[in-house]
Amino acid sequence: MVLLYKALVGGSMVHQPRQRLVDIYRHVEAVGGRTLDRTNSFLPTTPGTTSPSRAMAPSGDNTVANVHSGIDSTNKTLLKSDALYTYILDTTVFPREHECMRDLRLITDKHPWGYMQSSSDEAQLLGMLIKMAGAKKTIEVGVFTGYSLLATALALPEDGKVVAIDTDRECYEVGRPFIEKAGMAHKVDFREGTGLERLDELLVEDDGAASYDFAFVDADKPNYVRYHEQLLKLVRVGGTIIYDNTLWGGTVALPAGTPMSDLDTRFSAALRDLNAKLAADPRIEVCQLAIADGVTICRRIV
């Protein structure tokens, strides 16, 4: 579980004394019932615990720990209660999860970058939105091992297609056997390469026509704004564009200047910029949800 810090900090952490920082972390942990990444030297180590191996935040007395350390498919949520999230998963998500999706999710949890996987409740949401929209022609930018891609393929009708774009074919190959086992391979058009380049190719292929019903973006955050402009040319009026990770572990609400890892700093800034632009974009209707790591749903109206 990733927590929102703004109310706890109440201002920039740059000049907070060491003890104040320790107190903040202890309070966050007490409220959330979860141990944060303790790679920072000023944080006391809890007996019997070790620091997560995926931590990216550099050591330093004032740096906020990497917000996605220790994340997998069982705790990728902004909810403050692990018990509540477990209840949601056990009651309405896992019982309806396709067997091949479950197997792929569990395999991906063991991957060094497993925290990048879409959460199960988010995948369920994607599938429902696709079915509600009656989508047949979709795009996914950022595939990783293909958990959300499989959710999309399962939700599409038999003659539906999803163009899946990612720079890393090796990760896609992890999920491909599960896509094939589910009988969904014929719906997937995997294209290796950068999102910007492959979307430009789609614009040429379709002769500029906005023929897609649905798009899901979970890729390099600094390019989200550029993806948005491309997708508005590819997705039809009335179609849906969804952006993942738009709250970035709650860091978008942190005070300006809060020290974080380089990655968190760059991505948080990019997502704040995206959120502001989407909120002011007259070409879409927009709804931001606090599901998973933040999901923003856009409906093209112009």
What per-residue confidence (pLDDT) applies to 64?
A: 66
- Ranges of H-type helices in the chain: 6-9, 18-32, 82-88, 99-109, 120-133, 147-155, 169-181, 195-205, 224-234, 262-280
Residue 46 included in any domain:
no
Domain membership of residue 211 as a residue range: 98-300
What per-residue confidence (pLDDT) applies to 14?
A: 33
Nearest residue to 133 via CA among 241, 275, 20:
241
- Burial (CB < 10 A; 0-12, 13-18, 19+), residue 13, is buried
Count of Cβ atoms closer than 10 Å to residue 42 Cβ: 15
What per-residue confidence (pLDDT) applies to 196?
A: 98
The number of C-alpha atoms within 13 Å of 61 and in the hemisphere containing its C-beta is: 7
Residue 170 belongs to a domain with what CATH number?
3.40.50.150
Q: Name the token pair of 58.
A: 């550099």
Quote the pTM value.
0.77
- Burial (CB < 10 A; 0-12, 13-18, 19+), residue 87, is exposed
What per-residue confidence (pLDDT) applies to 44?
A: 39
Residue 249 included in any domain:
yes
Q: In the chain, how many domains are there?
A: 1
What per-residue confidence (pLDDT) applies to 56?
A: 34
Rounded distance, CA 59 to CA 73, Å?
Answer: 27
Residue 278 included in any domain:
yes
Residue 190 included in any domain:
yes
285: β partners: 299
Amino acid at 65: A
Q: Name the token pair of 188.
A: 């997937």
Nearest residue to 215 via CA among 281, 296, 158:
296
Residue 54 included in any domain:
no
Nearest residue to 76 via CA among 102, 114, 111, 50:
114
What per-residue confidence (pLDDT) applies to 204?
A: 94
Residue 15 included in any domain:
no
Nearest residue to 205 via CA among 226, 191, 219:
191
What per-residue confidence (pLDDT) applies to 283?
A: 98
Per-residue pLDDT of the chain (302 residues; tens, 9 = 90+): 333 333 333 333 333 333 434 444 444 444 344 444 433 333 333 433 333 333 333 334 456 667 777 778 777 788 889 999 999 999 999 999 999 999 999 999 999 999 999 999 999 999 999 999 999 999 999 999 999 999 999 999 999 999 999 999 999 999 999 999 999 999 999 999 999 999 999 999 977 789 999 999 999 999 999 999 999 999 999 999 999 999 999 999 999 899 999 999 999 999 999 999 999 999 999 999 999 999 999 999 99
What per-residue confidence (pLDDT) applies to 206?
A: 77
Residue 260 included in any domain:
yes
Residue 293 included in any domain:
yes
